[in-house]
Amino acid sequence: MEKIKALLKKILEKRTVKSLFLHMKESEIGLSSIAVAYYLLLSLFPFLMTVGNIIPYLNLNSNETMRYMREVVPSDIFDSLEPVVYDLLTNRSSGVLSISAIVTLWAASQGITSLQNAMDKAYAITHRRNAILTRILSVVILVILVLAAIMGVGVLGFGATIFHFLKREFHWTDTTLQSLISTTNILAIIGVFLLLCLLYLIVPNVVIPKIRYVLAGSLFATVMCFILSQVFGFYVQYFATRVSSYQMIGTVIVLMLWLVFSARILIMGCVINSVVQELATGEHARERSKMISNLLRQKVENKIERE
């Protein structure tokens, strides 16, 4: 026991570990991840209302759609969803569409702003950014996160289930099925990794001089998102096949936990990047917005001096 304690003490005294724990503390990873998950979950329901009110404008044939759903959706689930889906296909409301879209954007942008603040704190940056630029950047970040979620959860989590369904429909061989699953998973992992690199480059309000400073955190977040997607996909495949009051509540809880852990993973990846950059450069990261404003001020002053 004493040897283990001595080993742990030796590890904790190392500069890298000290720096890692310090940046984790500064990012307030626990509170920040809960705030991000809360606002994203809050945006989910108005988002579904927005999608539901857009569907009638697509002029889909309701009878054909219901017939197709009856074939592909389990009967117990279809019986519960049928009246809701039919209502969405036939009724439209521009007022509800506008309100739900505004609420969705507000709630989602609040969640992204919380993520931005957490990543700034991971780099020991506490200065507030311009509110308008923050909202614009939030929309860009939201698009990146949605694409990453589609590839991460949709492909990695549900890809095998979807391909097994397509195998029955198109009579694919086992070799074709495995080849498609493997290729799609590899492409999805590469896509998520590249999107996370982009996310870590543009979200923190810091100057990142070299792209290699975000590779370690992006790799960590990609691997952890892959593991989380597999766990979430396992739940959907084995426990969410029936609709009941308890299982619906359980699904909401699982979704909330997934959002919390996803936010923790993203923030932890940023913490790793901040430690890597600090150890590589030997100094704290510089604030991007302050540096840009100083450069602009210097250019204006130089122009005035020339005149």
Average confidence (pLDDT) over 122-146 = 72
Average confidence (pLDDT) over 220-226 = 89
User: How far is it, in rounded angstroms, from Cα 280 to Cα 235?
Assistant: 41
Q: Which residues pair with 92 in a beta bridge?
A: none
Average confidence (pLDDT) over 125-137 = 68
User: How far is it, in rounded angstroms, from Cα 154 to Cα 148?
Assistant: 9
pLDDT higher than threshold 60 for residue 72: no
Record the tokens describing residue 179, joined without a space. 């080849």
Q: Which residues pair with 287 in a beta bridge?
A: 206
Q: How much of the chain, in percent, has pLDDT values that exceed 90? A: 7
Task: Return mean pLDDT, the chain.
Answer: 74
pLDDT tier, 76 (very low <50, low <70, confident <90, very high otherwise): low
pLDDT higher than threshold 90 for residue 221: yes
**Best CA proximity match to 153, nearest among 242, 254, 241, 52:** 254
pLDDT higher than threshold 50 for residue 11: no
Greater pLDDT, 88 or 190: 190
The helix/strand/coil state of 286 is coil
Average confidence (pLDDT) over 147-152 = 66
pLDDT (0 to 100) of residue 104: 80
User: How far is it, in rounded angstroms, from Cα 205 to Cα 198?
Assistant: 13
**Best CA proximity match to 153, nearest among 41, 258, 260:** 258
Report phi then psi at 293, rounded to 5: -65, -35
pLDDT (0 to 100) of residue 89: 64
pLDDT (0 to 100) of residue 134: 67
The CB density around residue 273, as the number of other CB atoms within 10 Å, is 29
pLDDT higher than threshold 70 for residue 306: no
Pinpoint the alpha helices (H) of the chain: 2-12, 15-27, 29-54, 62-72, 75-90, 94-122, 131-149, 158-170, 174-202, 215-239, 245-281, 288-306
Record the tokens describing residue 97, joined without a space. 């569409």
40-44, 138-142, 154-158: lowest mean pLDDT where?
A: 154-158
Per-residue pLDDT of 200-212, as tens digits, reads 988 888 888 888 8
Which residue type is seen at 269? G
Instruction: Give how far the C-alpha of residue 49 lies from the chain's centroid of Cα atoms, to the nearest Å.
Output: 21
Q: Are 235 and 155 in contact (CB under 8 A)?
A: no
> How many CA within 13 A on the CB side of residue 248?
6
Record the tokens describing residue 86, joined without a space. 């039919």
Per-residue pLDDT of 227-272, as tens digits, reads 887 777 676 666 655 555 556 666 677 778 888 998 999 999 999 9
pLDDT (0 to 100) of residue 295: 52
Instruction: Give how far the C-alpha of residue 293 lies from the chain's centroid of Cα atoms, to the nearest Å.
Output: 30
In the DSSP assignment, the letter for residue 214 is G
User: How far is it, in rounded angstroms, from Cα 100 to Cα 80?
Assistant: 24
pLDDT (0 to 100) of residue 270: 92
Per-residue pLDDT of 281-290, as tens digits, reads 877 777 766 6
The helix/strand/coil state of 292 is helix
pLDDT higher than threshold 60 for residue 139: yes
Q: Is the pTM above the cut of 0.95?
A: no
Which position has the token pair 């945006």? 43
pLDDT tier, 113 (very low <50, low <70, confident <90, very high otherwise): confident
Helix axis angle for 174-202 and 131-149, nearest 10°, is 170
